[in-house]
Structures are given as structure tokens and as C-alpha cells.
Amino acid sequence: MNLSLARFLSVVLHPLLMPTLLFGVLFFRAPSVIHNLQFVNAEAAVRLGPFQISFAAGLLFLLFMWTFLVPALLIYWLHRLGFVQTLTLQTRRDRHLPYLITAVIYTALTVFFAKRMPQLPEIALVLGAIAATIALVAGINLSYQISAHAAGIGGVTGALAGLMLTRNELALFTPLVGCVVLTGALISARLSLNAHTPGQTTSGLLLGLAVSLGTVGFFE
């Protein structure tokens, strides 16, 4: 694969962007998967500055802020303080603290949605699966440099597949196929950049798939 394309895919399919991708698909492609979302979306709106947007769009922005912007800014801060050598977290040692902090943020976000938005239980369920995946990646990373990119895209693929099967939601079929294609492209990109070995990408992909499929299958 062309190295410029490989770098582009690694950025746009960054693990921290996977929750936004997943919830974006669920909110706007198959909102019926989220209990009560259509009702709440019809009744509520969010004012963002001078603009008024739908509840789903405001919720997606909130999730983007806490699952991407906040962890990304904290990683940048760790880099400026010298705790992380590279912003791309190239070494296993660089990944320890950022992974731990991200897992804590995602866990806190899961608890928040479970307590404050019990009418939308699927959001906490999906966030919990993502938080568990990050925690497992962080633990494994102490001794083995598993691919977080592969785990992230694997989690999205597994969640889409699990929800499509348990909810019989055919609207998720096309996004699922697209996600499978992106999974192959992303893994090829990571291998082309020599960021991981085939074993590291395979183990990351299997971990993401297993946790998301297992969580959706068990709690649904």
C-alpha cells in the first residue's frame, strides 16, 4: 500500500474516532436500535451557540468531545510534559499512560450514561464494551504491543454485527460491509507502515470483535 494512503487511513481511522463513527452510524442510519432515541429526538433539541440541532446530533457531538477531543488533548499535554515521546505513540512504553487515562475516561463516561440517561441503555452498553476493550489493550500492552487500531475497528465491526443480528436491523448491513472493507484497508495500512506485525494486528482485531460481540450478545 502507498505510504501516504497508509498514513491517511491511520489518522482518519484512529481508535479514538471509532466511537464517533459507531454512534454516528447508529444514530442516523439505524436509530431504532437505540431504545427511545427516536422519541427523544423528536421531543428534544440542543442549542449550540446560535444554532439549534437535533438531540441525536448534539449527543453525537458530546460523545465526540469526550471520546476524542478530551483524550487527544490529554495525550498532547503528556507529550508536552515529556511523559510521552511521540504523539503517534510509536513505542509500547509511550502507550502505557495514555491507554490508562483513556480507559478511565471511557469508564467514567459509561457510568455517566448509565446513571443519567437510563432511557438510552444501548449507549452505556456500547461505551462499556469500548471501555473494556481499551482496558484490555492497556493491560496487554504491558507485555505485548497489540494493535489498538485493529482493536478499535474490530470493536465497531463486532458491535454493528451484533446489533444487526440481535435486533434484526437490516439497515446496518451496508455499514457493516463498509466497515469490513475499512478493516482490511486499515490493517494493510498498519502493516505497510511497519507499525505492527501480522500477529499484533490479528490479536487486536480478534480482541475488539470478541468484546463487542460478547457484550452485545450477552446483554441483549
The set of cell numbers assigned to 208 is 475488539
d(CA 168, CA 158): 15
Of 2, 39, 60, 16, residue with least CA distance to 153: 16
d(CA 95, CA 91): 7
d(CA 55, CA 179): 25
- Overall number of domains in the chain: 1
Task: Confirm whether 38 is domain-assigned.
Answer: no
Q: What is the pLDDT of residue 44?
A: 53
Do the beta carbons of residue 202 and residue 208 sit within 8 Å? no
Mean pLDDT, 10 residues at a time, the chain of 220 residues: 87 95 92 70 51 73 94 91 80 84 95 89 91 94 92 95 89 94 95 90 95 82
Q: What is the pLDDT of residue 48?
A: 45
Query: For residue 193, which amino acid is it?
Result: L
Task: Confirm whether 35 is domain-assigned.
Answer: no
d(CA 12, CA 14): 6
Q: What is the pLDDT of residue 37?
A: 67
Q: Which residues pair with 52 in a beta bridge?
A: 47
Do the beta carbons of residue 187 and residue 201 sit within 8 Å? yes
Task: Confirm whether 155 is domain-assigned.
Answer: yes
CB neighbour list of residue 94: distance below 8 Å, 6 or more residues apart: 84, 85, 86
Task: Confirm whether 39 is domain-assigned.
Answer: no
Task: Confirm whether 34 is domain-assigned.
Answer: no
Task: Confirm whether 182 is domain-assigned.
Answer: yes
Domain that holds residue 87: 3-28+62-219
Task: Confirm whether 44 is domain-assigned.
Answer: no
Task: Confirm whether 177 is domain-assigned.
Answer: yes
Of 180, 206, 179, 201, residue with least CA distance to 190: 201
